[in-house]
A and B are shown apart, each in its own frame.
Chain A
Amino acid sequence: MTKKHYLTEEGLEKVKNELKELIQEKKKKTKDGVPEVLHSEDLNPEYLDFRQDLRLLERRIMKLDEVVKNAEIIKSPENKRKVELGARVIIEADGQEDQFTIVGSLEADPAEGKISNESLVGRKLMGKKVGDKVTVASKVETVYEIKKIEYQDEV
């Protein structure tokens, strides 16, 4: 089964731009055609490098193309009182307040406060509501208290 890629509109735009750049790059690489040395491929480093570069580039293009084709835009859920993809969650953990936006794995960027729904904390927060206390337990136990849940169309 094909994997769905959950992205915000902004995230999908970013992937599309990256794809566009890679396609341009491929055009640039091939605009002068395959190097002259094509017919003497035996141990010719220039040709082998060219072929390898192109193969990698094509692979990356294919991957991003697959993401764009199977992208599903994250929409605000009907029940906005629960944490779902796209929710901005204000939490308190170890006495400190913090905020995360829960996104799909592709778009996660912890430095920007976007955490993946597949991370240990993201998984636990999904489906919870304000006032819930979520324990991420293992040897170092942390309790996250959900203080506020917001969605883009409410901000």
Chain B
Amino acid sequence: MKEIYEFITSVGKLKSEGRRGWKIHDIENPETTAAHTFQLALIVWTVGKRKEDFDLNRAIKMALIHDICEVHSPDLTSYDAVGIDENEKFTRDDIENLKPKKGRPTLKQRKKMKKVKRELESEAMDKILADLPEEISEDFFELWREYEKKVTPEAKFVKQADDVTNLLQGMEYWKDGHKGIEYRLWVRRGKEKIDDPDLIEFLVMIEESL
């Protein structure tokens, strides 16, 4: 039980740390990773309920653990990617000096960021799960790996629901007066990324609320 206790208290840190993307937008008391996860899990549960031949329990579990690596890895955003010099080599050592910039990262910047982010998150996941009983850590790692690979319908759905959850929160901040959020770009990006028919419907609802 000691290992489980330590894991739970460790992950509990995600209840108090504001998400980096909102801090970049100077939002006071920003949404935490835990709050984001809560809303994502509910979106996955309620919207996912419409799907046939779909393992809803697996998808909800995937949503719950998708960001736990952030206990040990930086919460890197697309704004950090915009800060990457696309003509220079980019490694994990450059993260510390990375200056986030608003806007949309280029394909090269996105690829460079994805590679380093995956490396850091994989190590963080190993670290956070290291002391848990094997039957739990294997289960978590497998779910997380599936989520990252996005090959199964459940993983693809959770990944897109994650994007929709971020869009929803961003648009709520925008409606609250945080006009620094580039809402046109965000909505546009959503329309490029999301292809799940139920989540497209949800995306349209968000857009109509603006």
Residues in A neighbouring B183, C-beta threshold 8 A:
140
Say whether, besides A63-B152, A115-B192, A119-B192, A99 and B204 are in contact (CB < 8 Å): no
Please, how many residues of chain B have a CB less than 8 angstroms from a CB on the other chain?
Answer: 34
| B30-65 residues at the A interface, CB under 8 angstroms | 55, 58
- In-complex Cβ contact of B192 among A15, A60, A100, A138 (8 A): A100
Docked CA distance A118–B110 (Å):
22
- Say whether A93 faces chain B, with CB atoms less than 8 Å apart: yes
Docked CA distance A93–B184 (Å):
11
Inter-chain contact total with CB atoms closer than 8 Å: 83
Kindly supply a per-residue 1/0 record for chain A positions 108-142, scoring 1 wherever the CB is within 8 Å of any chain B CB and 0 otherwise: 11111101111111100000000000001011101
Residues A139 and B153 in contact, CB atoms below 8 Å apart: no
CB distance from B168 to the nearest CB of A (A): 14
- Say whether B150 faces chain A, with CB atoms less than 8 Å apart: yes
Residues B210 and A140 in contact, CB atoms below 8 Å apart: yes
- Say whether A94 faces chain B, with CB atoms less than 8 Å apart: yes
Most interface-central of B55, B113, B156, B192 (chain A CB within 10 A): B192
Residues in B neighbouring A105, C-beta threshold 8 A:
156, 195
- Say whether B104 faces chain A, with CB atoms less than 8 Å apart: yes
| A70-106 residues at the B interface, CB under 8 angstroms | 93-94, 96, 98-100, 105-106
Docked CA distance A116–B156 (Å):
12
The residue on A at minimum CB distance from B117 is: A111
Residues B150 and A120 in contact, CB atoms below 8 Å apart: no
Docked CA distance A66–B189 (Å):
31
Docked CA distance A63–B155 (Å):
13
- Which residues of B does A touch, CB under 8 Å? 55, 58, 104, 106-107, 110-111, 113-114, 135, 149-153, 156, 183-185, 187-189, 191-195, 197, 200, 203-204, 207-208, 210
- Which residues of A does B touch, CB under 8 Å? 14-15, 18, 49, 56, 59-60, 63-64, 93-94, 96, 98-100, 105-106, 108-113, 115-122, 136, 138-140, 142
